[in-house]
Amino acid sequence: MKKVVLVTGANSGIGLALCAHLLSQDAQLQLCLACRNMQRAEAVRQALLVSRPRAQVTLLHLDVGNMHSVLRAAEEFKQKCNRLDYLYLSAGIMPNPRVDHKAFYKGLFSINVVCMFATGEGILTQEDKVIPIGLQEVFATNLFGHFLLVKELEHLLCQMDHNSLVIWTSSSNAQRSAFSLDDIQHQKSHEPYSSSKYGSDLLSLALNLICSQGLYSSVICPGLVMTNLTYGILPSFFWTLIMPIMWLIRIFTNTFTLSPYNGAEALFWLFMQKPESLDPMAKYHSLTSGLGNNYTQPHKMDNDENMSEALYVKLLELEDTVRKKLRDEDLYIKTKN
Ligand SMILES: NC(=O)C1=CN([C@@H]2O[C@H](COP(=O)(O)OP(=O)(O)OC[C@H]3O[C@@H](n4cnc5c(N)ncnc54)[C@H](OP(=O)(O)O)[C@@H]3O)[C@@H](O)[C@H]2O)C=CC1
Ligand SMILES: CC(C)CCC[C@@H](C)[C@H]1CC[C@H]2C3=C(CC[C@]12C)[C@@]1(C)CCC(=O)[C@@H](C)[C@@H]1CC3
């Protein structure tokens, strides 16, 4: 049976590297690239087909930060495919990132220096905004849109005859201290990225606990990778300039995977595993040794079942509110026409 794989954020960075890797491994694969920019998506599809001309690569228009688009994309996917084996949730944003230079230099001379380079903890903040539906943009894109997509595709994911796996691209920047159940959208502070990624860790655990038979969920961390996301933190020429320093740092922290191919290691590793053999409490890290060898290692996540179930309940409540808003908007448009 051909495996069906859906990848969000497939047109660049880690998502794209994963797609290329998957196709090189399994030519029989049915791969669906879910992207918000169809021109970029088509260019990527053509590029992937150059090395695998007979591969089955389709496109799906999905803006994961727009809930109308999520519902439409899920509907379109269900019409096209009657099976889904792997759902890779790789789309993500970190808008207006700011490096706290004072904290960075302080961290350089502290005993936590390796941890600082591995997680970026305490030195990175972002400026978030509210999108038209009334949600915080980072929360909507990195967490809620994906949650809604999983809910919409639940019937395809929960099948009796085979297991399927949802894979969240989280981060080692996901900190419990940045997340609050009373402020799941992170309206009140300046680490929405960390909060949304911690939320995805919790949600993955909740899916394993709550969802029906056949559906499994896992979380990965790609390490620090040079992509459009990191070029938003510091310009690409600066990263290129300090590349030798980063290769040096890699000797002390194997989390500097640096290339999208290396960063996608854990995503690809999960594709090779049986979903039922995975640990729901583990985050699977892509790691690269000082000599440049890639491997995947599980690390216990800093979360608990009660908190993850509480987040799941809050997300279900928010889902109701959002669906009602979407229906009202549809009704308004219909009556206006
Ligand atoms: N780079 C790193 O060091 C790390 C990255 N990550 C995570 O890895 C994932 C991939 O990021 P990375 O490859 O680094 O960065 P990129 O910016 O290269 O990739 C992000 C992808 O997400 C897509 N995307 C963003 N917003 C939306 C949206 N609203 N709807 C649909 N697609 C969207 C982008 O599409 P478009 O091209 O249209 O913008 C792009 O394809 C993210 O979740 C990120 O948080 C985690 C840890 C470290
Ligand atoms: C000489 C140095 C390499 C200068 C760079 C300092 C910082 C800008 C980086 C040090 C650790 C980095 C890091 C991230 C961003 C850039 C740094 C803070 C992330 C937070 C990027 C996104 C993620 O999801 C994390 C896994 C990264 C962790 C490390």
pLDDT in tens, 267-310: 999 999 999 999 999 999 999 999 999 999 999 999 999 999 99
Is the pLDDT at 109 greater than 80, yes or no? Answer: yes
pLDDT, average across residues 320-333 = 88
Is the pLDDT at 24 greater than 90, yes or no? Answer: yes
User: In terms of Cα–Cα distance, which of 91, 26, 93 is closest to 60?
Assistant: 91
Pocket around ligand 1: residues whose beta carbon is below 6 Å from it? 8-9, 11-15, 35-37, 40, 62-65, 90-93, 141, 169, 171, 222, 224-225, 227-230
Say how many Å lie between the CA of residue 200 and the centre of ligand 2: 20
Q: Name the least confident of 105-114, 135-144, 326-335.
A: 326-335
Indicate the SS3 state at residue 312: helix
- Structural Rg of the chain based on CA atoms: 19
Q: Which residues are catalytic?
A: 193
Q: Which long-range contacts (CB under 8 A, 24 or more apart) does 270-274 make?
A: 270/165, 270/167, 270/218, 270/220, 270/296, 271/5, 271/22, 271/25, 271/86, 274/163
Sequence spans of domains, the chain? 4-335
Is the pLDDT at 333 greater than 90, yes or no? Answer: no
CATH code given to domain 4-335: 3.40.50.720
- What local confidence, expressed as pLDDT, does residue 213 receive? 84
pLDDT in tens, 170-183: 999 999 999 999 99
Q: Which ligand 1 atom sits nearest the alpha carbon of residue 11?
A: 41
Residue of 7, 11, 14, 196 best suited for mutating to test ligand 1, as the one with most atoms within 8 Å of CB = 14
- What local confidence, expressed as pLDDT, does residue 336 receive? 74
- What local confidence, expressed as pLDDT, does residue 120 receive? 92
Q: Which ligand 2 atom sits nearest the alpha carbon of residue 172?
A: 26
Is the pLDDT at 337 greater than 90, yes or no? Answer: no
Q: Is 306 exposed, middle or buried (0-12, 13-18, 19+ CB in 10 A)?
A: exposed
Q: What is the DSSP letter of 141?
A: I
In contact, 37 and 63? CB cutoff 8 Å: no
State the Cα–Cα distance between residues 143 and 158, nearest whole angstrom. Answer: 20
Mean residue pLDDT across the chain: 95
Q: What percent of the chain has pLDDT over 70?
A: 100
**Res. 5 pLDDT band, cuts 50 70 90:** very high
**Res. 160 pLDDT band, cuts 50 70 90:** confident
**Residue holding tokens 């591995």?**
118
Say how many Å lie between the CA of residue 177 and the centre of ligand 1: 23
Residue 322's Cα: distance from chain center in Å? 21
pLDDT, average across residues 13-18 = 98
Cβ count within 10 A of residue 43: 12
pLDDT in tens, 47-96: 999 999 989 999 999 999 999 999 999 999 999 999 999 999 999 999 99
| Nearest-ligand number for the alpha carbon of 262 | 1
Residue of 7, 16, 36 best suited for mutating to test ligand 1, as the one with most atoms within 8 Å of CB = 36
- What local confidence, expressed as pLDDT, does residue 203 receive? 98
Say how many Å lie between the CA of residue 302 and the centre of ligand 2: 20
